[in-house]
Amino acid sequence: MRGLKGKVAIITGAAGGIGKATALRFAEEGADIVVADFADGAGTVQEVEAKGTKAVYVKVDVTNEDSVKAMVVKAIEVFGKVDVLINNAGITKDAMMKKMTKDAWDAVISVNLTGVFNCTSAVLPHMLEQKSGVVLTTSSVVGIYGNLGQTNYAATKWGVIGMTKSWAKEMAKNGLRFNCVAPGFIGTEMVKKIPEQVLAEKILVKVPQGRLGEPEEIAAAFAFLASDDAKFINGAVLSVDGACTL
C-alpha cells in the first residue's frame, strides 16, 4: 500500500508514542512528514528517512499561537504544501475531581483542546486555498465514556469530537475532511503513569481483547482516514480500543 504517496503531513506529538508510530506508518505509505513536537524529534526524522521519504523536525508548543504559525510556515517552506494535519500532541494531569487543581485543569485544556484549535486554525487558510486537506485528531475512549481521575482530560477529548463535527459541517463543501480516532489504552509513556494496580485490576480487566493497544494500531487508523479510501468519511469518530467501550 502507498495510499499517501506524494502527500505532506504535519504530525504533532510525533517525537514518541502514537505520533511517532503514525509518522513511520505515513512514511511507509509514501508521505513526507513534519515531525512537530515540544520534545526532540530527531529520532523520528531519522527513522522516517530510513523508509525513503523526507522529514523535518519543527520544535513547536501547540499552546502557543506564534509557535504553531511558524510550524505551518516551515512546512510550506520545506515541502510546498500541507495535505494532512494530525492533531496528536496531548498530556494528562490526573487527579480525582475533589483534588483536581485549577492549574491541572488549565494545563490539559491548553494543550489538548486549545492546541487543537491553534494547529487547525493555522493550516486552514492553506487547505481552503488548495481546496483539499484532511485534519485528524486524537480523541480517546475517555472522551466518549469518561474516566476516574480525568475530568480535565475527558473534557478535552470530548471537546475535540465536537470541534471535528462542527468543522466537517462547515467545510466539507470546501473539499476538506475532519475526523477523530478514539484510541483505548495504548502502551505509551502516557499509560506508564497509571498506578500498576489500577491498570491491572481496574482497567485491563474491562478490555475484552485483554491487552493494551499498540501505537501502530492507532497509526493504521490514521493512515486509512488520511487516504482517499476514506474520501466520503467526514465528521466521524473511529474507535480503536479492543472493544473496551462495549
The amino acid occupying position 174 is N
Tell which one of 94, 119, 127, 134 touches ligand CAA (CB under 6 A): 94
**Region near ligand NAI per CB under 6 A, out of 43-51, 96-104, 125-133, 182-190:** 182-190
Q: Is 57 a catalytic residue?
A: no
Q: Does 19 bind ligand NAI (CB under 6 A)?
A: yes
Q: Does 68 bind ligand NAI (CB under 6 A)?
A: no
**Closest distance of CB 201 from ligand CAA, Å:** 7
Q: Which of 38, 153, 185, 222 is catalytic?
A: 153
**Closest distance of CB 188 from ligand CAA, Å:** 8
Those residues with Cβ within 8 angstroms of residue 241's Cβ, 6 or more apart along the chain or in another chain: 141, 182, 183, 184, 185, 207, 213
**Closest distance of CB 220 from ligand CAA, Å:** 18
List, by residue number, the catalytic residues. 153
Give the footprint of ligand CAA on this chain (CB under 6 A).
92, 94-96, 99, 140-142, 147-150, 153, 185, 190-191, 194-195, 198, 202-203
